Amino acid sequence: MMKRKIFALIVILAFVLSACGGGSTGGKTVVRMWTTANPAFNAGYESLISAYEAGHPNVDIQLETFDYELYLQTLQTAMPAKEEADILQLFGTWTSQYYERLAPVPAEVMTVEQARETFYGAPIGGFIVDGVLYGMPQEFNMEYGGVLVNRAKFEAAGLTYPPEWQSMDDVVDTAVLLTQKDAAGMMTTAGFHFTSADPTSFSFLAGIKQRGGDYWNADHTGFTFNTPEAHAQLQWMLDVVNAGVVDPVVFNDSTNFVIDAFFQGKVGIGYIGTWAIAEGQTNFPDFADKWDYVSLPSVQGDPVFVADSGWGLTVSPNSKYQDIAWDFVKFVIAVPENAGQWNIASGTIPAIPAVAESAEIAAAMPWVPKALSILPYGEYLGNMPDRDLVVYEIIYPHILNALQGVETVDEALQAIDTEANSTFR
Amino acid sequence: MKMTATHERKSKGGLAIIKRRFVAGVTVPLLLYESLGIFVLGWAFVLIFFDYSSGRLGGPILGLGGSNPFVGLGHFIEMIKGTSVEANLFRVSLRNTLIFALAILPLNLAITLPLAWLLETIGIRFKSLYRTIYFLPVLTSSVGVALIWMSMYDSQAGWINAIIRFFGGTPVSWLSDPHAGFAGVSVAMWAVILAYLWQDYGYNMVIFIAALQGIPQELKDAALIDGASPWQVFLKITIPLIRPTMLFVCVMTMLSSFQVFDIIQVMTNGDPGNQTQVLMLDIYKNAFRYQNLGWAAAESFVLFLIVMGVTIFQMRVLRTNWEY
């Protein structure tokens, strides 16, 4: 009887231990890696994992993927319990929220100075908090600077293709001709869909910068959204809506999201970052219209814009194999060939200038060379107390309210300023 | 086979041991499970008094203190008179939750009780068929129901707008127009209320059918013989006799409508302009999207107090002191 109990206990312990993950199996060191369930991204990771394992036969890197929302929840529950994976995919702007639970990059892997020299300023900015480097970026996440254009709609409207826009007025003029409504007055094709959350928010922020303003106070301890530059930019956005190129009630983030709407043929010009291309191609493989990704002129002056870093990799301070984890991260991100391979697989703009300018990238992603001229103008968004809260619950909803006529421009800016500053505790 | 007295005593002793083991085997896991629940509730209660985020390390004891500071009743004060985005969204969410719950209860009763009564009057052959048809949406997942209604409400390709167009009317953006409304409530809120009602009404209908079947036929017959009309029988006999069931239905419907989440998250995610943002959705976003667990715990506590208050009120108003 006692033997049976001991045997049962051993079996249970074996299950528990195996479920705890990590560790060593079959003579190999198992390193766990968590990412969001983006098929294009993870295809890139899988091939690099295979390459790394081929060079390190004693290492087994196990990729575990989660849907976006589930990933956030898993990080929040696993981190306090110290049960997170060894390697964590993190969006750069999240670092300022999680840095207390992340391992700093060891100096022998990469110093802050080396990181600043290696990567574009905007993507690396997200991984540095209080002068400490907590990870490395894999992409330059650009929500500003380019648009998807539907060639078939241009040709049907008798417009020149590819478009040669000198100013945003030209874009609006083109969009007016691309817009279509049904007999009942419902907009069926948005000429210029810029009213999803990221394009709206980031064109607002870029507009403030291009007009010579800033949304940060001098020492970055508060926001300044109720300024003449912000007012001018929001009024300009409202004027574009009033020109009739998009109905923000029918085309917004929850209804006719720009990627879905564009790849369903409901949009002439769709404002979105280049990351949307891979997602659109994956989700809408039957979309037959010819399309391209083209640069957008600035609203005023130099094409200064803000970017919120990009996806990258970090390492858990609770990992027993931090040395292997950092070695893998460096292999994936800091080796230019590997970084480029991942960018091509994921359809993202490289975070390393030399990779972005390479012939391989130009051949695989013809839209990247078009973006190169403005990449140096990219500034990091800044370490907000909660980037998602500020962008998705404050900036976007109030701007959309203004564009939909629910709030005036002044009311929207006042609300954004008050609520955004309340996120500093 | 006869057992000796010793065998019998042993056997009884063995049975007692087995019984004790059985009781221990059942109750110990149950107590452990319950204590886990109490621990979770206790932890949530503690978080109410802290500005706690799981992304921050905080103090040495359970991460409380330090970068997760003690705020006392600060969350509740902020909810009442704060200007932060959390406070604004809480007040909007509370208002929307009350609208949702107060609309759902009377509408649900207005549909389910007459429908149950009608089903009781039709022939036995069709009774089961209709009961099954009406109950089917209850068995469907909320996400599936939400997707079906979303496709119907689609402003461009939905068949509701197709019908409106056919008759020459102006199509409506049912789930995204912040201007459209009826009786002071946004059209998007009415749209999700309708979808929720459709999914939920079969449950209450079946409960009412069971209650109606429990009313003695003699009471109705006696009333009819005394000259009462069918309407008077319904009003004076049926309704009073199903009051205990109505209490149950009211309490359960209120509870579930105060806790509505999935159907709204899928259909609108709180849009347009937070007009369908309800408390559960706000709690979810704060807890799991923005890691604002202290605030989310405080919101959950407020929701708990509201639900408890409403339940006690309903039990006071609808309780009966008799049986039949």
Per the prediction, chain A carries an average pLDDT of 91
Whether residues B267 and B287 fall in one domain: yes
When scoring A74, A252, A393 by the number of chain B Cβ atoms within 10 A, the one with the most, hence best to mutate, is A393
pLDDT, tens digit, for every residue of B97-115?
A: 999 999 999 999 999 999 9
User: How far off is chain B from A405, nearest CA to CA, in Å?
Assistant: 9
Domain-located, residue A3: no
Domain-located, residue B182: yes
Maximum separation of any 2 CA atoms in chain A, in Å: 87
Whether residues A37 and A61 fall in one domain: yes
Domain extent, residue A212, equals 146-306+384-421
DSSP labels, A183-230:
TTS-EEEEEEE--SHHHHHHHHHHHHHHTT--SB-TTSSSB--SSHHH
Whether residues B18 and B127 fall in one domain: no
Residue A23: which CATH number?
3.40.190.10
CB within 8 Å: A406 and B179: yes
Interfacial B residues in 129-158 facing A (CB < 8 Å): 155-156
Whether residues A258 and A222 fall in one domain: yes
> What is the per-residue burial (b if ≥16 Cβ within 10 Å, else e) of B51-75?
bbbbbbbbeeeebbeeebbebeebb
Whether residues B90 and B71 fall in one domain: no
Whether residues B234 and B282 fall in one domain: yes
Can you give the pLDDT at residue B12?
Answer: 65
Whether residues B32 and B175 fall in one domain: no
Whether residues B117 and B255 fall in one domain: yes
Of all helices (H) and strands (E), which one includes residue A25?
strand A23-25
Whether residues A298 and A325 fall in one domain: no
DSSP labels, A259-290:
HHHHTTT-EEEEE--THHHHHHHHH-TT--S-
Domain-located, residue B323: no
CB-closest option in B51, B165, B285 to A184: B165
CB-closest option in A101, A185, A397 to B170: A185
Whether residues A294 and A329 fall in one domain: no
Whether residues B216 and B98 fall in one domain: yes
Domain-located, residue B16: yes
State the burial class of residue A246 (Cβ atoms within 10 Å of its Cβ: 0-12, 13-18, 19+): buried
Percent of chain A with pLDDT over 70: 94
The residue of chain B with its CA nearest to that of A416 is: B85
Whether residues A179 and A275 fall in one domain: yes
Domain extent, residue B27, equals 1-47
CB within 8 Å: A389 and B85: yes
Whether residues B75 and B152 fall in one domain: no
Domain-located, residue A1: no
Query: For residue B92, is it left (φ>0), alpha (ψ between -120 and 50) or beta?
Result: alpha
Domain-located, residue B220: yes
Domain-located, residue A27: yes
pLDDT of residue A7 exceeding 80: no
pLDDT of residue A17 exceeding 50: no
Which residues of chain B have a CB within 8 Å of the CB of A182? 156, 165
pLDDT, tens digit, for every residue of B32-57?
A: 988 888 988 999 999 999 999 988 88
Torsion of CA B175, B181, B184, B186, to 10 degrees: 10
DSSP labels, B154-182:
-TTT-HHHHHHHHTT-----TTT-SS-EE
Can you give the pLDDT at residue A363?
Answer: 94
The residue of chain A with its CA nearest to that of B63 is: A80
**Which residues of A make CB contacts under 8 Å with B?**
69, 72-73, 76-77, 79-80, 97-98, 100-101, 182-186, 188, 249-250, 252-256, 266, 386, 388-389, 393-394, 397, 400-401, 404-406, 418-420, 422-423, 425
CB-closest option in B85, B156, B269 to A186: B156
The tokens describing A246, both together, are 């998009």
Domain-located, residue B265: yes
Which residues of chain B have a CB within 8 Å of the CB of A80? 54, 63
CB within 8 Å: A69 and B269: no
Domain-located, residue B324: no
Whether residues A166 and A273 fall in one domain: yes
Residue with tokens 């009884």: B12
Whether residues A104 and A186 fall in one domain: no
Domain-located, residue A270: yes
pLDDT, tens digit, for every residue of A29-67?
A: 999 999 999 888 999 999 999 999 999 999 999 999 999
Whether residues A340 and A293 fall in one domain: no
The residue of chain B with its CA nearest to that of A420 is: B85
Can you give the pLDDT at residue A18?
Answer: 46
The residue of chain A with its CA nearest to that of B58 is: A100
Whether residues B73 and B90 fall in one domain: no
Whether residues B73 and B109 fall in one domain: no
User: How far off is chain B from A220, nearest CA to CA, in Å?
Assistant: 19
pLDDT, tens digit, for every residue of B181-204?
A: 899 999 999 999 999 999 999 999
| ipTM metric | 0.79
When scoring A195, A251, A255 by the number of chain B Cβ atoms within 10 A, the one with the most, hence best to mutate, is A255
Residue with tokens 């980037």: A387
When scoring A389, A395, A403 by the number of chain B Cβ atoms within 10 A, the one with the most, hence best to mutate, is A389
Can you give the pLDDT at residue A16?
Answer: 45
Whether residues A81 and A154 fall in one domain: no
Cis before B244? omega within 30: no
Beta bridge partners of B139: none
Query: For residue B102, is it left (φ>0), alpha (ψ between -120 and 50) or beta?
Result: alpha
Give the count of domains, chain A.
2
Between A46 and B288, residue with greater pLDDT: A46
State which amino acid sits at residue B304. F
Can you give the pLDDT at residue A25?
Answer: 61
User: How far off is chain A from B171, nearest CA to CA, in Å?
Assistant: 7
The residue of chain A with its CA nearest to that of B82 is: A422
Whether residues A56 and A128 fall in one domain: yes
pLDDT of residue A277 exceeding 80: yes
Whether residues B107 and B20 fall in one domain: no
Whether residues B212 and B223 fall in one domain: yes
CB-closest option in A77, A406, A419 to B85: A419
CB-closest option in B51, B86, B177 to A249: B177
Domain-located, residue A11: no
Per the prediction, chain B carries an average pLDDT of 90
Can you give the pLDDT at residue A20?
Answer: 45
When scoring A70, A93, A186 by the number of chain B Cβ atoms within 10 A, the one with the most, hence best to mutate, is A186
Mean pLDDT of A190-216: 96
Residues 6+ apart with CB under 8 A from A422: B82, B83, B84, B85, B86
User: How far off is chain A from B170, nearest CA to CA, in Å?
Assistant: 6
Percent of chain B with pLDDT over 90: 60
Give the count of domains, chain B.
3
User: How far off is chain A from B6, nearest CA to CA, in Å?
Assistant: 25
Whether residues A266 and A279 fall in one domain: yes
By DSSP bridging, strand A311-315 and strand A87-91 are: antiparallel
Q: How many CA atoms lie within 13 A of B261 on its CB side?
A: 9
CB-closest option in A72, A184, A422 to B84: A422
Query: For residue A82, is it left (φ>0), alpha (ψ between -120 and 50) or beta?
Result: left
CB within 8 Å: A394 and B288: no
User: How far off is chain B from A411, nearest CA to CA, in Å?
Assistant: 14
The residue of chain A with its CA nearest to that of B83 is: A419
Domain-located, residue A7: no
Whether residues A269 and A400 fall in one domain: yes
* Band of residue B252 on the pLDDT scale cut at 50, 70, 90: very high
